[in-house]
Amino acid sequence: MPMGCDHESGKGDWARLPNGVMKLHPCCSKCGTLKNVSSDRGEKMSYFIITLSKLRKVLRERGYKMSEAQIRLIARELSETEGFEDTWWITFSAQREIFIQTVRKYVRVPRDLLEAIV
For 53-106, the pLDDT digits (tens) are 999 999 999 999 999 999 999 999 999 998 898 887 788 999 999 999 999 999
For residues 101 and 59, membership in a common domain is answered with: yes
For residues 54 and 31, membership in a common domain is answered with: no
Q: What is the reported pTM?
A: 0.76
For residue 81, give the DSSP letter: S
For residues 82 and 26, membership in a common domain is answered with: no
For residues 12 and 64, membership in a common domain is answered with: no
For residues 87 and 112, membership in a common domain is answered with: yes
For residues 18 and 48, membership in a common domain is answered with: no
Domain that holds residue 13: 1-35
For residue 5, give the DSSP letter: -
For residues 30 and 50, membership in a common domain is answered with: no
Q: How many domains does the chain have?
A: 2
The helix/strand count (H/E) of the chain reads as 4, 2
